[in-house]
Amino acid sequence: MLCPVILLASAGWASTPLTYAALGGVQHLAAQLRQLVTLPLVSGHLFAHLRVRPPRGVLLHGPPGSGKTVLARAAAGDAGATLLVINGPEIMSEWQGARSGKGS
């Protein structure tokens, strides 16, 4: 069995599991993420039984420092999933065929 992976455009690896219980003041957002992310990952058999396709992903958007990465880490921690955090410029360049400046 493969471990579910949640990808997010940000920086670094999730080091310690974080859950929704550790977040304060975002109960409404946490409830929505539970329905969209945690429930399909943990209880996928319910969707299969009802013949309903679970959501394929969630796009978190907002200004820097608004807690998008923390919400994603809480969703992954609550679902027991692995969170891979990827920074956009690490995988793409504005120039076709150009390599990242790291390691060259």
Nearest to 74 by CA among 11, 2, 10, 26: 26
Average pLDDT, the chain: 75
For residue 21, the enclosing domain spans: 5-89
Report the Cα–Cα distance between both ends of the chain, in Å, rounded.
37
63-87 residue pLDDT tens: 888 888 888 888 888 888 888 877 7
Number of domains in the chain: 1
- Asked if the model's pLDDT at residue 8 lies above 70, the reply is no
Instruction: Flag whether 99 is in a domain.
Output: no
As a residue count, the chain comes to 104
- Give the number of other CB atoms < 10 A from CB of residue 46: 12
Instruction: Flag whether 103 is in a domain.
Output: no
Over pLDDT 70: what percentage of the chain? 73
Question: Are the C-beta atoms of 13 and 76 separated by less than 8 Å?
Answer: no
44-56 residue pLDDT tens: 888 889 898 888 8
Tokens of 52: 């309903």
Question: How many CA atoms lie less than 13 Å away from 80 in the CB half-sphere?
Answer: 7
Q: What is the CATH number of the domain that holds 38?
A: 3.40.50.300
Instruction: Flag whether 16 is in a domain.
Output: yes
Question: How many CA atoms lie less than 13 Å away from 5 in the CB half-sphere?
Answer: 8
Instruction: Flag whether 23 is in a domain.
Output: yes
Instruction: Flag whether 101 is in a domain.
Output: no
> Is the whole-model pTM more than 0.75?
no
Instruction: Flag whether 21 is in a domain.
Output: yes
Instruction: Flag whether 94 is in a domain.
Output: no
- Asked if the model's pLDDT at residue 12 lies above 50, the reply is no
